[in-house]
Amino acid sequence: MTETETAAVVLAAGKGTRMKSDLAKVLHPLAGRPMVRHLIGTLDAVRASRTVVVVGPGMESVAEAVAPLPTALQAEQRGTGDAVKAARAALAGFAGDVLVLYGDTPLLTVETLERMLAARRSAPHPAVVVLGFEPDDPAEYGRLIGGADGALDAIVEFREADETQRRIGLCNSGVMAIDGAVLFDLLDAVTDENAKGEYYLTDLVAIARARGLACAYVMAPVEELVGVNSRADLAVAERILQDRLRAAAMAGGVTMLDPETVWLSHDTKFGRDVVIQPNVFFGPGVTIGDGVTIKAFSHIEGARVAEDAILGPYARLRPGAEIGKAAHIGNFVEIKASVVEAGAKANHLSYIGDARIGAGANIGAGTITCNYDGFTKSLTDIGAGAFIGSNSALVAPVKIGDGAIVGAGSTITRDVPADALSIARGDQKDIVGGGMRYRMGRNRRK
Ligand code: UD1
Ligand code: MG
């Protein structure tokens, strides 16, 4: 038996006025990626073979963010039914199952969509499967009118609902799985004769029933259906997603001393036996190896950390940081686009940018790689086993040979040969009794 194909229509033409933002609503990030991309990731997981994102005029930024997926333009916002119609050309000839999702409801799980598709594909093969939920306050959601057996007769929008219908707690989430063979036929029968003067997608159910087609609903937990309409909603959605990401990390063998204070990205990858102290932030693109310890207040993005390394407290890893096995990156050390090889240590107060630090090298407190001259960035190469004294400035491009020692306080502007001892600072001068004479002079004048 060949599997029924799945397509998806993601509605994202809404203006999102309440976000008070220049950024399109569906591009606001959750766990470091635009919310619409979370949905696309979920659709990938249910192997949707065609996904169309419905956008409004002037939403080129959304088209860019979802590329290479196609977008369909809904020229005017005339309701959810009209929005799905905008995807007609993109779905021409498609007769599998069509999922309709909202771009601003990004927390749907793969498992829920699979349950909807399974309901579509089993007896009585409902033409429309609606995802229902029971919010604490049903407010102005559309109400599901149906039987306890999961059969659905109609969705009544709040504005059209009578008193009895408004007492129904079972609400329409907006998510549907629809038989693609009849979708556009049914949609053509939807009119805008209602309180809002809009084409309601929800009318599909009554229209299908009138044609003798079965409809059904399946339930989902409320927290999957949090819609983002404001910044406060965005924070609620972020928290739910963070809880999921942290739970998955802990299930995979990560210890978090205070999980609620650890912020992850959608793509943060951990090995086993990683220990994370409180208040650590992961931006996108981080991979952490087995046995790594990350101490409190570290900020890490775009970085790879090999096994048994120790980071922080207060470490900052920026994009392109590659930390080798058992290396130590300590407090107030910033690493950008640099490779720190196995066992190397930079434990205090340093900036390391555009550099290689050889295996086992020791970078003293306050060392700075001067990678930028105001025009271009240059590289610093530090050999294996080198020792850089505290408060040294390494003016790039510059190379410190293997095993070389740089005296504290040096400003190094030329390459240092392997195993050399280089000191580049003013010579120390000791004036015997000078301190005493200075003090006596000042006291006399006072
Ligand atoms: C809709 C449902 C309602 C359900 C609720 C769940 C209809 C008629 N009503 O109501 O039953 O309980 O969602 O949240 O479907 N959109 C477009 N183009 C349009 C209109 C909407 O793309 O012309 C998009 C919006 O960007 C949004 C989604 O569709 O992502 C839902 O639109 P919204 O106006 O919020 O629908 P509700 O009135 O809340
Ligand atoms: Mg809404």
Same domain, 265 and 219: no
80: tokens are: 């959810």
User: Is residue 237 domain-resident?
Assistant: no
Q: Which residues pair with 64 in a beta bridge?
A: none
User: Is residue 245 domain-resident?
Assistant: no
pLDDT of residue 148: 76
pLDDT of residue 81: 98
Q: Which atom of ligand 1 is nearest to the CA of 201?
A: 15
**CA of residue 63 to ligand 2 center, whole Å:** 22
Q: Which residue in the list 38, 125, 266, 348 is annotated as catalytic?
A: 348
Determine whether 299 is an active site residue. Answer: no
Bridging pattern class, strands 171-179 and 128-133? antiparallel
Same domain, 304 and 411: yes
Same domain, 201 and 342: no
Tens place of pLDDT per residue across the chain (446 aa): 467 999 999 999 988 999 999 999 999 999 999 999 999 999 999 999 999 999 999 999 999 999 999 999 999 999 999 999 999 999 999 999 999 999 999 999 999 999 999 999 999 999 999 999 999 999 999 999 997 789 999 999 999 999 999 999 999 999 999 999 999 999 999 999 999 999 999 999 999 999 999 999 999 999 999 999 999 999 999 999 999 999 999 999 999 999 999 999 999 999 999 999 999 999 999 999 999 999 999 999 999 999 999 999 999 999 999 999 999 999 999 999 999 999 999 999 999 999 999 999 999 999 999 999 999 999 999 999 999 999 999 999 999 999 999 999 999 999 999 999 999 999 999 999 999 999 999 999 98
Same domain, 74 and 133: yes
**CA of residue 163 to ligand 1 center, whole Å:** 22
CATH number of the domain enclosing 381: 2.160.10.10
Q: How far apart are CA 139 and CA 229, in angstroms?
A: 15
User: Is residue 367 domain-resident?
Assistant: yes
Q: How far apart are CA 176 and CA 98, in angstroms?
A: 8
Same domain, 199 and 291: no
Q: How far apart are CA 59 and CA 62, in angstroms?
A: 5
Q: Which atom of ligand 1 is nearest to the CA of 11?
A: 22
Same domain, 188 and 271: no
**CA of residue 242 to ligand 1 center, whole Å:** 26
Q: Which amino acid is at 307?
A: E
**CA of residue 12 to ligand 1 center, whole Å:** 10
Same domain, 261 and 217: no
Residue-by-residue DSSP string for 185-234: HHHHT----STT-S--TTHHHHHHHHTT--EEEEE--GGGG----SHHHH
Same domain, 163 and 47: yes
173: tokens are: 């989430």
417, HSE (Cβ side, Cα atoms, 13 Å)? 1
Q: Which atom of ligand 1 is nearest to the CA of 199?
A: 8
Residues lining ligand 1, CB < 6 A? 11-14, 54, 74, 77-80, 82-83, 102-104, 141-142, 155, 157, 171-174, 200-202, 227
Same domain, 286 and 322: yes
Q: How far apart are CA 112 and CA 122, in angstroms?
A: 16
Q: Mark which of 184, 209, 225 sits at the end of a domain.
A: 225
User: Is residue 376 domain-resident?
Assistant: yes
User: Is residue 230 domain-resident?
Assistant: no
Q: Look up the domain containing 221 and give its range.
A: 6-225
Question: For atom 17 of ligand 1, which residue has the closest CA?
Answer: 13
Distance of CA 166 to the CA centre of its chain: 37
Report how many domains make up the chain: 2
Same domain, 284 and 147: no
User: Is residue 189 domain-resident?
Assistant: yes
Q: Which atom of ligand 1 is nearest to the CA of 203?
A: 8
Specify the DSSP class assigned to residue 346. Answer: E
pLDDT of residue 193: 97
User: Is residue 437 domain-resident?
Assistant: no
CATH number of the domain enclosing 63: 3.90.550.10
Q: Mark which of 225, 245, 268 sits at the end of a domain.
A: 225
Q: How far apart are CA 116 and CA 146, in angstroms?
A: 17
Same domain, 128 and 177: yes
Same domain, 134 and 90: yes
User: Is residue 46 domain-resident?
Assistant: yes
